[in-house]
Amino acid sequence: MWTWFFQLASPKWVFQFIEKLLPWFRAITLVLFIAGLFLGLLYSSLDYQQGNTVRILYIHVPGAFLSMFAYVLMAITGAIGFIWRIKMAHIVSVSCAPIGAILTLLTLISGAVWGKPTWGTYWEWDARLTSYLILLFLYLGFMALHSAFDDRKSGDRASAVLAMVGLVNIPIIHFSVEWWNTLHQGATISKLEKPSMDADMLAALLTMIAAYQFYFLTVLMQRIQGEILVREKLTGWVRKLVIASK
């Protein structure tokens, strides 16, 4: 069991492991997206006030969830890499950032598109929206800081510190709804209480969250592979791989 755990720190082993997993993850992502989009866009019931507009929910909410998840993953793997100096953890952390940034952007844009028909405005300086904007800035800062260092190792460590500092911001984002409680509605799904939405809407939403989750993991694994190839370009196994692929 422990050898499996230790192998996670070896870029070569991880690269080959991902190679085996990827087809499965791609297939699962595709199936979940087809099922989720079918359930969400065609099958699920309409909101009694918002009508068809409510279907943006199935794009917006999973994106919001995953962009937060990506940040937490980025910070935790960054911390692991920082504390125990594990190369692979930094690779994962760095690979999370662009995906998380894109998902945050998607959340902001889909939110703006949703906001126009329901709130009557594309943008409102509400706590939750502002927090996501800050989250986007944090992602951009992380990527900018990482690329500013000539030495990749220092860049890894510095951006890991920044990610950990930014993680303090995540609870503020989460509780901002309760603190300011302006235009954005509170969380609808909670673990403890009965969700206040129809069962078919919930099914569609959960399927879409799963689809986004698998999409995130698939893209993350591909980015990790790319990052490994760049960092290990001088090693023998990467050379063999490149020659074999030619």
Contacting residues for 22 by C-beta, under 8 A, at least 6 apart: 218, 221, 222
- Alpha carbon dihedral 28, 89, 146, 59, in 10-degree steps, equals 20
Count of residues interacting with another protein (CB under 8 A): 22
Is residue 86 near another protein by the rule CB under 8 A? Answer: no
Q: ∠ CA 223-227-231 to the nearest 5 degrees?
A: 175
Q: Angle, nearest 10°, between helix axes 87-119 and 199-231?
A: 140
Rounded to a whole number of angstroms, the minimum distance from the CB of residue 147 to another protein is: 10
**Smallest separation (angstroms) from another protein to the CB of 173:** 10
Question: Smallest distance from the beta carbon of 166 to another protein, in angstroms?
Answer: 7
Q: How far is the CB of 16 from another protein (least distance, A)?
A: 31
Check binding of 219 to another protein (CB under 8 A).
no
27 makes contact with another protein (CB under 8 A): no
- 80 vs 202 by CB, closer to another protein: 80
Query: How far apart (Å, rounded) are the C-alpha atoms in residues 71 and 52?
Result: 31
Instruction: Determine if 172 is a binding residue for another protein (CB under 8 A).
Output: yes
**Nearer to another protein (CB atom), residue 2 or residue 179:** 179
Task: Pick the closer one to another protein by CB: 34 or 140.
Answer: 140
The interface mask with another protein, positions 91-130, x = CB under 8 A, is ---------------------------------------x
Residues 130-169, one symbol each (x = binds another protein by CB under 8 A, - = not), give x---x--xx-xx--xx--xx----x--xx--xx-xxx-xx
- Smallest distance from another protein to CB 190, Å: 24
Binding residues vs another protein (CB under 8 A): 82, 130, 134, 137-138, 140-141, 144-145, 148-149, 154, 157-158, 161-162, 164-166, 168-169, 172
